[in-house]
Amino acid sequence: MLAQALLVVCALVSAGTASPLVARQSGVTVLSDAQVDVYTPYTYYASAAYCPGNQTINWSCGANCQANPKFVPIASGGDGDGVQFWYVGYDPSLKSIIVGHQGTDTSKLLPVLTDANFFLTDLEDGLFPGLDSDVQVHNGFGESQADSARDVLAAVKKGLSAYSTKAVTVVGHSLGGAIALISGVFLDIQIPAATVKVVTYGQPRVGNSAFADWVDAHLDSVVHITNKKDLVPILPGRFLGFAHASGETHIREDDSKWVSCPGQDSTADGCTIKDVPNILVGDANDHGGPYDGIRIGCKAT
- Footprint of ligand NAG (CB under 6 A): 52, 54, 58, 60, 79-80
* 51 vs 206 by CB, closer to ligand NAG: 51
* 77 vs 177 by CB, closer to ligand NAG: 77
Cα separation, 94 vs 98, whole angstroms: 9
Q: How near is the Cβ of 52 to ligand NAG at its closest, in Å?
A: 4
Cα separation, 202 vs 244, whole angstroms: 12
Residue 104's closest CA among 204, 222, 209, 220?
Answer: 204
Q: How near is the Cβ of 78 to ligand NAG at its closest, in Å?
A: 8
**Sequence-ordered list of residues with C-beta below 8 angstroms from that of 243, at least 6 positions apart, any chain:** 205, 207, 208, 209, 211, 212, 264, 265
Q: How near is the Cβ of 81 to ligand NAG at its closest, in Å?
A: 8
* 61 vs 223 by CB, closer to ligand NAG: 61
CB 233 within 8 A of CB 224: yes
Q: How near is the Cβ of 60 to ligand NAG at its closest, in Å?
A: 4
Q: How near is the Cβ of 65 to ligand NAG at its closest, in Å?
A: 9
CB 36 within 8 A of CB 59: no
* 58 vs 256 by CB, closer to ligand NAG: 58
Q: How near is the Cβ of 85 to ligand NAG at its closest, in Å?
A: 8
Q: How near is the Cβ of 142 to ligand NAG at its closest, in Å?
A: 23
Q: Which stretch of DSSP H or E encloses residue 120?
A: strand 120-122
* 51 vs 178 by CB, closer to ligand NAG: 51
Peptide bond into 236 cis (omega under 30): yes
* 102 vs 165 by CB, closer to ligand NAG: 102
Distance, first Cα to last Cα, the chain: 43
**Sequence-ordered list of residues with C-beta below 8 angstroms from that of 87, at least 6 positions apart, any chain:** 48, 49, 53, 56, 57, 73, 75, 76, 77, 99, 100
* 59 vs 211 by CB, closer to ligand NAG: 59
Cα separation, 224 vs 178, whole angstroms: 10
CB 258 within 8 A of CB 36: yes
